[in-house]
Amino acid sequence: MAFTPTPASTSSNTTAVLIVNPELDLIAQAIAQAQEQLQAVMEAQYWEELMQQWMEKGWENWMKEKNTMVVLDKKLAVVVIGMKCQKVSFWISLVMFKF
């Protein structure tokens, strides 16, 4: 016995009818508007966080630079600076007497 498939629908002129519901259209518009607002808020938060990180990094760098300028023991600092000056003058005198 041979198998012969039969179509589920014998009507050849079937058309799909799209029923547009105005309430669904309003809901879709509200969802799209909410998504746009959410995107704008998320972008604003991103830039705010980026600016905060930039400011914190700048503050940290400024504090590091400031901390390197602080002298805890002024007498020791004078001695160290004096030693450096002596080394420089020693090298200058070597160069002058060498020529």
90: confidence class by pLDDT, cuts 50, 70, 90 = confident
The end-to-end CA distance of the chain, in Å, is 120
pLDDT of residue 91 exceeding 80, the answer is: no
Whether residue 77 contacts residue 71, with contact meaning beta carbons closer than 8 Å, is answered with yes
Which structural domain, as residue segments, surrounds residue 36? 26-68
Q: Are 96 and 80 found together in one domain?
A: yes
- Cα–Cα dist 4/41, whole Å: 61
pTM (2 decimals)? 0.41
In a domain, residue 8? The reply is no
Domain count, the chain: 2
Give the max Cα distance, the chain. 122
pLDDT band for 16, please (50, 70, 90 cuts). low
Q: Are residues 64 and 76 in the same domain?
A: no
70: left (phi over 0), alpha (psi -120 to 50) or beta: beta
Tell me, yes or no, whether 55 lies in a domain.
yes
Question: In sequence order, what are the residues at sequence separation of 6 or more whose Cβ sits closer than 8 angstroms to the Cβ of residue 71?
Answer: 77
Evaluate whether residue 76 is within a structural domain.
yes
Q: Are residues 63 and 77 in the same domain?
A: no
Tens digit of pLDDT for each residue in 32-89? 999 999 999 999 999 888 888 888 888 888 877 766 666 667 788 888 888 888 888 8
**77 and 60 in a common domain:** no
